[in-house]
Every structure is written in C-alpha cells, then in structure tokens.
Amino acid sequence: MKFNKICVIGLGYIGLPTASTFAVNGVNVIGVDTNSHVIDTLNKGEIHIHEPGLPEAVSNAVRSGKFKATTRPEEADAYIIAVPTPFKHDEFGEYNGVKYKLADMRAVTSAAESIVPHLKKGNLVVLESTSPPRTTVDLVTPILEKSGLKAGSDFFLCYSPERVLPGQILRELIENARIVGGITAESAQAGHDLYATFVKGQIIKTDATTAEMVKLMENTYRDVNIAIANEFSRLAEKFGVDVWEAVSLANLHPRVKILSPGPGVGGHCISVDPWFFVEAAPELTPLIYHARQVNDAQPHFVVEKIKQALGELKGKKIAALGLAYKPDVDDLRESPANEVVHLLQGEGAQVKAWEPFKPDADMEGIHMASSLEDAIKDADLIVLLVKHTEFIKLDPHEIAEKTKTRVLFDTVSGWNINDWEIAGFKVIRLGVGK
Ligand code: SAJ
C-alpha cells in the first residue's frame, strides 16, 4: 500500500517524533492536537517538549513543507492515534477488598470519533496509545464503524505499540523492532507497509490483541523487576549489606539481570501500564498488583531513611536535586521525586527543589529553587533524587563552598562516595546498611 498523506492524532512524546519522522521521509503529515498553543508552537518550527534531536527533526519537517499542525483531522490515507491513556484519579475499581486504578480512555475515544467523518474505503487506522487488552477490537472498532464502513473489509485497522525510550526516541523509532497487530491479516500488512516508510528494525505482523498484550507485558515485566530491586534495597539495609555492590555481583551470573533500586517508579508508562492488566483481570494479577504497591511505597521508604539521618524532619531544610521521573529528561509526570518532596513537606521539612530540565516548572505545593546554589545554600541535607548527568558531574569541592550542609542522601547511587568524603561530606546511600 502507498501512503501519500497521513494524520497523526496526538502530538506528545510519541506522536510528534512519529509525525516528524514520517514527514522527513517524504510523507505529507497532518499533525493534530487539541492544544492550540502546541499547534502554534509547532507551526513556527519550535517544540513544546524536551527530547534530544527533536527540535531539529521538527524544524526540518516544517521547512520541508511536509508537516503541518492543526486542531482537526483531515482526509488522509492513514490515521495514527497517539494520545495519552492515563489512569483515572477520582475513580477506582475494587476486587476482594483490593483497590485498583482504572484506565482513562477518553482521549482514545474522542480521537477515534474525530476520524469518523473523514474515513474512506481503503484507509488505514492505527492505534499506538498503550491500551488495555482488547481496546482495538472492543472500543475502537465500534466507534470507527459509525462511519458505515466495516473494519477489516472496508478499512484496515491495527494496533502498533510504540516501544521507544524517552531520551532516545528518534533513534529507537527507526531502529527498534516494530510490532503491527491487525484485526485481519490484510490490516496487519497495511500497517507493515506504513511503518516500512522509515523503520529499519524488523516489522512483525500479528493480531491486534496480541500486540496490545505484548506492549503491556514489556512494561509490566520491567515494573516487577524494579520492584524486586527496590525490595532488595530494603533487605540489604536490614542485613548490613550494600545493595549496589550485591546487585552488581549477582549480575555477574549469566542469567541474572537485576535492575536498579531507586526512589520509586515514575513516568507515564511503567507506573501506569501494569494497572491495565489488573483492571482487566484483578483475579489473575496478584504479583503485578503487589509489584505496583512495592514501587509506589518506595518514596515512603526513602523519606523514612532521611528522617533517620536527620533525627527529625520538622523545620529541617532539605535541597531536593531532580524532579524528573528519570535521568536527563524534562518529564515530571508521575515522578517519585515529587512524591518524596511532598512526603518530606508533610513531615514538616522545608524543601527547595532544583530541576535543571524544567527550572520554571509550576508544581503544586513545591517550592522551586531558582538555581542549584539557591537550593543548597542553607540546606541541612541534600537529597539526590534523579541521576541527571549534570548532577553526577558536580564537583564536591565546589559544592562544599556553596552549602552549609555536609550531609548527602543519594537515592540513585549517583555519587562516588570517596570523592565526596574527601571534600568533607557524609554520604548516606539508599539500600546501604553497612
Ligand atoms: N527505574 C528504576 N530502576 C531501573 C530502571 C528504571 O527505578 O533500573 C525507574 C526510572 O527511574 C523511572 C521508571 O523506572 O522512574 C521508568 O523508567 P524506564 O527508563 O524504565 O522506562 P520509561 O517509562 O522511560 O520507558 C518505558 C520503556 N519500556 C521498557 O523498557 C520495557 C520504553 O521502551 C517504552 O516505550 C516506554 O516505557 C513506554 O512508552 O511505554
């Protein structure tokens, strides 16, 4: 199949790199987003999110004349839905006394509805948003069929998960293997042809529900593995062991790959997607549910440790380094660092947070420092919450001149203890009981 013009609905962390990659590969792309500020920014060739290489990709796409951003879909050969699927914050499910989170599918629903008036015979629609199992068949198909066309025979319909890692999106979009699940074999083939425009990794065809499940399995597998690393950090403290050393030694085993403990699991994917399985089948998912509980409780564990280090938290001044959900990104969504800051404040500490990737972030209830110096100047303790490269590279002697404290709490094993001790600091690390 040939695709001269496509519509990408949702211009966030996935939709925008996808749209600009199609455009620089010669496809006419209409990028659609409901946020008019995003549209104006993009049409000027600028961008609203931080991702290495993306500013250049978007400005090339706009200059080539192949990319245009707007608030409504238009007629096209193919439609890609890449809108967010967060969980609901005010509604929960319950099974045998266990409370679980529910997927908020409103954005997928309205994206699918916005395609209906434009849908023609022979079109392809691809859902990329991470979704609960059977969404393509049970939710998207009936909406699109309101057009009077039949999915699978009049138009093609696929689920194709994005699997790119924030920070490396543009490279992984091209190089990663791509899974295309069609509601029919012909749909999968049409999806294959679309992504063959730029994907250099393998493109594997399957059915839509398998593709949905694959995506959820990948992120759930990672969440469960981080949960065990976090549980190991607690055990290591109890037994007087350094968890970082123990993990690196265990990982010498050829079939063991333990992930890193930390202040918790954040972002819009790993901390959300496992709930889609729990919601779909709470009776079958005790492990997945408990892994989520362990990771969600990790900020509390960190705060308890900081309390032990300071004796008490009331009135103590704490500098929090990093609010992003992981290193070298500006995404603060579902960040465990934010949770740590809120919990510290709840115990009476005065926290100043410094996030170099979003210094102007307006986070409810969080006092943002104007600079690193401002954050650490009067601090009683500095807590490292995110392993941003620029934090790891800080010079301990320079920092010693800029702060009155000599106590550091490192939740991510980002700092070399010897270097900081030579500069006069005491370094407490998460997961170290020695
Ligand atoms: N984290 C740890 N320890 C680790 C690794 C990560 O605590 O050893 C934490 C991070 O600090 C962060 C969270 O987990 O708070 C998630 O970070 P991540 O780097 O593991 O994953 P994401 O959310 O940035 O991207 C994931 C990726 N999925 C997998 O690696 C299986 C990516 O490939 C997906 O495309 C993305 O989710 C997505 O969009 O679903």
Name the residue of 18, 217, 232, 265 to mutate for ligand 1: max ligand atoms within 8 A of Cβ: 265
- Asked if the domains 5-84+104-208 and 292-429 are classified in one and the same CATH topology, the answer is yes
From the CA of 336, give the closest atom in ligand 1: 15
What residues does each domain of the chain span?
A: 5-84+104-208, 292-429
Give dist(CA 305, CA 407) in Å, integer: 13
Give dist(CA 396, CA 411) in Å, integer: 17
Residue 197 confidence (pLDDT): 97
- Is 215 catalytic? The answer is yes
Provide the CATH number for the domain formed by 292-429 in this structure.
3.40.50.720
333: Cβ below 6 Å to ligand 1?
Answer: no
17: Cβ below 6 Å to ligand 1?
Answer: no
Give dist(CA 32, CA 352) in Å, integer: 38
Given a cut of 90, whether residue 1 has pLDDT beyond it is: no
* CATH 3.40.50.720 assigned to 5-84+104-208: yes
Q: Chain-wide mean pLDDT for the chain?
A: 96
The model's pLDDT over 236-292, given as tens digits with 9 standing for 90+, comes to 999 999 999 999 999 999 999 999 999 999 998 999 999 999 999 999 999 999 999
Q: What is the DSSP string of 112-133?
A: HHHHGGG--TT-EEEE-S---T
The model's pLDDT over 97-128, given as tens digits with 9 standing for 90+, comes to 888 989 999 999 999 999 999 999 999 999 99
Residue 91 DSSP one-character state:
E
- Rounded to the nearest angstrom, the distance between the alpha carbon of 214 and the centre of ligand 1 is 16
On the CB side of 39, CA atoms within 13 Å amount to 16
Question: What tokens appear for 327 in the block?
Answer: 């290193």
259: Cβ below 6 Å to ligand 1?
Answer: yes
Quote the pTM value. 0.94
